[in-house]
Amino acid sequence: MTPGSRSAGDRLTAQLAVSGVTLRYAAESGPVTAVDNVSFTIGKGERLVLLGPSGCGKSSLLRAVGGFLRPVSGEIRLDDAAVTGPGPDRMMVFQEFDQLLPWRTVAGNVEFALRRARHLSAAEARTVARDWIGRVGLSKFATAFPHTLSGGMKQRVAIARAFAVQPAILLMDEPFAALDALSRGRMQDELLALCQETGATTLFVTHAIDEALHVGTRILVLSANPGRVAAEYGVPEAAADRGAAQLAKLQADIQAVIFAGHGPMDDRDIAHA
Amino acid sequence: MPEQTLRHAALSERRVLALAPARRRLIILILLAAGWEACARWYDNSLLLPSFTQTISALLAAILNGELPSRTGASLEVLLVGYAIGILLAVVITAVAALSRWGESFLVLLTSMFNPLPAIALLPIALLWFGVGSASLIFVVVHAVLWPLTLSCHAGFRAVPQTLRMAGRNLGLSGSRYVFDILFPAALPSILSGLRLGWAFAWRTLIAAEMVFGASAASGGIGWYIFVNRAQLETANVFAGLLAVILIGLLVEALVFSTLSRLTVQRWGQEA
User: In chain A, which residue's Cα lies nearest the Cα of B177?
Assistant: A116
User: What is the ipTM metric for this complex?
Assistant: 0.85
Does the pLDDT of residue B10 top 60, yes or no?
no
Q: Smallest Cβ distance to B161: which of A66, A98, A148?
A: A98
Interface of A with B in 230-269 (CB under 8 A): none
- Which of A25-29, A182-186, B5-9, B154-158 holds the top average pLDDT? B154-158
Contact criterion met (CB below 8 Å) for A37 and A29: no
User: In chain B, which residue's Cα lies nearest the Cα of A117?
Assistant: B171
- Tell me the percentage of chain B whose pLDDT exceeds 90: 62
User: In chain B, which residue's Cα lies nearest the Cα of A118?
Assistant: B171
Q: Domain segments of chain A: what residues?
A: 1-87+170-175+200-273, 90-166
Distance (Å, whole) CA B35 – CA B52: 9
Band of residue B218 on the pLDDT scale cut at 50, 70, 90: low
Q: What is the pLDDT of residue A14?
A: 67
Q: What is the pLDDT of residue A4?
A: 34
Q: What is the mean pLDDT of residues B209-220?
A: 68
Domain B52-263, second-level architecture: Orthogonal Bundle (1.10)
Does the pLDDT of residue B3 top 70, yes or no?
no
Distance (Å, whole) CA B7 – CA B1: 10
Q: Smallest Cβ distance to A88: which of B171, B269, B270?
A: B171
Distance (Å, whole) CA B74 – CA B186: 35
pLDDT digits (tens, 9 = 90+) for B77-96: 999 999 999 999 999 999 99
Band of residue B4 on the pLDDT scale cut at 50, 70, 90: low
Q: Do B166 and A94 touch (CB under 8 A)?
A: yes
Q: What is the pLDDT of residue A271?
A: 38
Q: What is the pLDDT of residue B167?
A: 96
Work out the minimum CA distance from B189 to partner chain A, whole angstroms: 11
- Cα separations in angstroms, A39 against A62, A263, B129: 13, 18, 66
Q: Do B270 and A102 touch (CB under 8 A)?
A: yes
Distance (Å, whole) CA A98 – CA A94: 9
Contact criterion met (CB below 8 Å) for A16 and A65: yes
Number of residues written out for chain A: 273
Q: What is the pLDDT of residue A13?
A: 61
Please write down the long-range contacts of A128-136, taking CB distance under 8 Å and 24 or more positions apart. A128/A164, A129/A160, A129/A164, A131/A164, A132/A160, A132/A161, A132/A163, A132/A164, A133/A106, A133/A107, A133/A157, A133/A160, A135/A160, A135/A163, A135/A194, A136/A160, A136/A190, A136/A194
User: In chain B, which residue's Cα lies nearest the Cα of A99?
Assistant: B164
**Chain B residues within an 8 Å CB radius of A66:** 166, 170
> Which of A162, A244, A250, A146 has the alpha carbon at shortest distance from A203?
A162
CATH hierarchy code of domain A1-87+170-175+200-273? 3.40.50.300
**Chain A residues within an 8 Å CB radius of B272:** none
Q: Do A101 and B166 touch (CB under 8 A)?
A: no
**Chain A residues within an 8 Å CB radius of B261:** none
Nearby residues of A151 by Cβ (< 8 Å), 6 or more positions away: A97, A178, A179, A183
Edge-first strand listing for the sheet containing A202-206: A90-93, A169-173, A202-206, A47-51, A218-223, A228-234
Regions of chain A where pLDDT drops below 50: 1-10, 262-273
Mean pLDDT of chain B: 88
Band of residue B17 on the pLDDT scale cut at 50, 70, 90: low
Contact criterion met (CB below 8 Å) for B62 and B237: yes
Q: Is A112 on the interface with B (CB under 8 A)?
A: yes
Q: Do A92 and B167 touch (CB under 8 A)?
A: yes
User: In chain A, which residue's Cα lies nearest the Cα of B160?
Assistant: A98
Residue of A99, A109, A114 to mutate, interface with B, max B Cβ within 10 Å: A99
- Cα separations in angstroms, B177 against B40, B99, B166: 59, 11, 14
Q: What is the pLDDT of residue A261?
A: 55
Nearby residues of A65 by Cβ (< 8 Å), 6 or more positions away: A16, A18, A76, A78, A83, A90, A169, A171, A203
Q: Smallest Cβ distance to A66: which of B170, B173, B264?
A: B170
Nearby residues of B231 by Cβ (< 8 Å), 6 or more positions away: none
Q: Smallest Cβ distance to A92: which of B166, B173, B182?
A: B166
Per DSSP, A23 falls in state E
Does the pLDDT of residue B117 top 70, yes or no?
yes
Contact criterion met (CB below 8 Å) for A174 and A15: no
Is the bond preceding residue A226 a cis peptide, omega within 30 degrees? yes
Q: Do B170 and A147 touch (CB under 8 A)?
A: no
What's chain B's Rg over C-alpha atoms? Answer: 24
Q: Do B268 and A103 touch (CB under 8 A)?
A: yes
Q: Smallest Cβ distance to A145: which of B169, B186, B267?
A: B267
Least confident among A169-173, A204-208, B9-13, B246-250: B9-13
Distance (Å, whole) CA A151 – CA A158: 11
Distance (Å, whole) CA A67 – CA A65: 5
Does the pLDDT of residue B242 top 60, yes or no?
yes
